[in-house]
Structure 1
């Protein structure tokens, strides 16, 4: 699939996930794909940064935009609510050579974001949404940096926004759109409605439409593309604790035999490598705090014993990680119980919105205080 100037050998995008898709995890996914199938074919997107914090060169934000020397294309996701800040951030990315691709986040369903009019709430304000997309495209003018836009089906079942959002993004110069086939009210619960991806594909004719939601195995991606006609897939929670999923996807799309699922010994080696990469990025102390949540995902479905799991959930150093991982039985094959959904699910809930948000979809007022730091997805 082609996204503007970027040609992807495999129509697969790693969804930016806050606190997950940092340089360590992206490097690991790329290494897994290369070692198992000999390719690095997808697009691996950095975790989201806010446009405002980027423009202000907030040190934590600048560190979040770290890419490895081998990463190409470098892909960055912006969260923004304001056309002026969006333009400044996109221009800064272009002028400073910070990334080769900009994705825009309008999918976050977290209440503290939507109640200020950000994330998945924003596309309801269709004129403001269009101005923001246009500002990002304008900020990258004269470069070959494509701008893509990710959004949800809508706020809830009574307020679908995806068809308008797709049409507007297309007309304002976006190079592709991606749809998480859930409403904001669903958050991460229930099942994704892939029919909405098919509807968007019928509606948006001149740029690629990517589908997101409930892809946990390589076959799910093939099924989504076959049933919806979408041009590519975006993988989020399906790869948590399974960075080798991209190798399986690459094999599925090229029709080559899939790599063998890893036994527990190989999973332990992958955890160790992930820990090492996190320690290099954050320092050992923060890196080990960060690896803990990943270990729970890696061991999902494997027999590991509650005491060992507890010790791993408190791991403090790489040496301690090594000695604990050696206690796992490396011969245990990849279990059937480890397939299927993983990561947060939660339950549906009413979407928190600013007062009067639904009164006028053509109101262009920038929501106040919505661009403070937050995590999105």
Structure 2
């Protein structure tokens, strides 16, 4: 039987680590998630604390270049990046080394980001089959190495990192080999999601497979990702698997305070309590205000539907709330639905 949090929180379980020259403290990272980890979400996470490095949604490098050539506003996914506190990572994706290097250089020089992360893990069809990017590139280690080398050269001294999956399928797991390619090409850290591309988000993350990778890395840190939805699981990741850091993803969408709880747990401190439902409701309204500040109330209300559903997840009455909040189109409707249907118990 695994020990309880009370039994393990007497001493720190993990220490800060470096990505290049950047200190990651606490060693807990917020994962980039398309459609969710925008400025408003990052601001909520930052207010709670506990994330040693925050990240944007992944940015399509080719789309960035096209917007730049058209002298249009840069991608919405870079909303707030120039002004918000550091450290902050921006994740980019494509399959053309020169395009990724060009965008990486702009992010490092113009935006002054702390880390440029390259996505080699996204399993969705639009990225893999249509664009031959994301986890599709796990089948082409030489191409990955070329991409990383060019982005590293373009971004220096800003560190460049890579995020991968275990492989394309369970029958073709090659993360240990890919890890050596990533390190050899000059990346400053490697994050591994413990599923294959074919798994999508089904089943459980394989942390034993993640841990196997560490012995193949000589100088860069290993960050594990997958299924970390409680402080206890973060504690277990550091206690039982050979990782330097962890990355929390989907669980933070309905619990943005999870980073603070996990950081306290690994430091051996008392773990903050979950917010009350009343506090959660106010937090959601604060999130709504942040979204509307950027996109206006019309678009902001539509965008907030999915975030509002996250806040109610796992609560009694969540289904009824989701049914109603998923149709709102005006601020008045949003506030009415929140008052009438947000779970109270």
Q: TM-score, structure 2 length as denominator?
A: 0.88
Instruction: Number of aligned residue pairs: give it.
Output: 324
Show structure 2 runs of 5+ residues with no match: 1-16
- TM-aligned CA deviation for residue 63 of structure 1: 2.8
Asked if residue 275 in structure 1 is aligned to residue 288 in structure 2, the reply is: yes
Asked if residue 15 in structure 1 is aligned to residue 31 in structure 2, the reply is: yes
Residues 45-78 of structure 1 show CA distances to partners (whole Å, capped at 9, x for unaligned) of 0000011122233546533212263421121000
**1:112 corresponds to:** 126
Alignment partner for residue 91 of structure 1, among 85, 95, 105? 105
- TM-aligned CA deviation for residue 306 of structure 1: 5.4
**1:45 corresponds to:** 55
Q: Report the more deviating stretch, 13-22 or 314-323.
A: 314-323
Alignment partner for residue 301 of structure 1, among 299, 314, 320? 314
Structure 2 SS opposite 1:155: coil
**2:196 corresponds to:** 183
Residues 272-330 of structure 1 show CA distances to partners (whole Å, capped at 9, x for unaligned) of 01111111122211211111112222112222375544322222333433333233578
Q: Distance in 2 between matches of 1:15 and 1:171?
A: 24
Higher relative contact order (CA 8 A, sep 6+): 1
Structure 2 SS opposite 1:310: helix
Q: Distance in 2 between matches of 1:233 and 1:305?
A: 29
Q: Does the CA-based 8 Å contact 2:312-2:343 persist in structure 1?
A: no
CA RMSD for the aligned pairs? 1.9
Asked if residue 74 in structure 1 is aligned to residue 88 in structure 2, the reply is: yes
**2:211 corresponds to:** 198
Q: Distance in 1 between matches of 2:119 and 2:289?
A: 29
Structure 2 SS opposite 1:76: strand
Q: Does the CA-based 8 Å contact 1:49-1:61 persist in structure 2?
A: no
Alignment partner for residue 102 of structure 1, among 101, 110, 116? 116
Structure 1 SS opposite 2:167: strand
**1:128 corresponds to:** 143
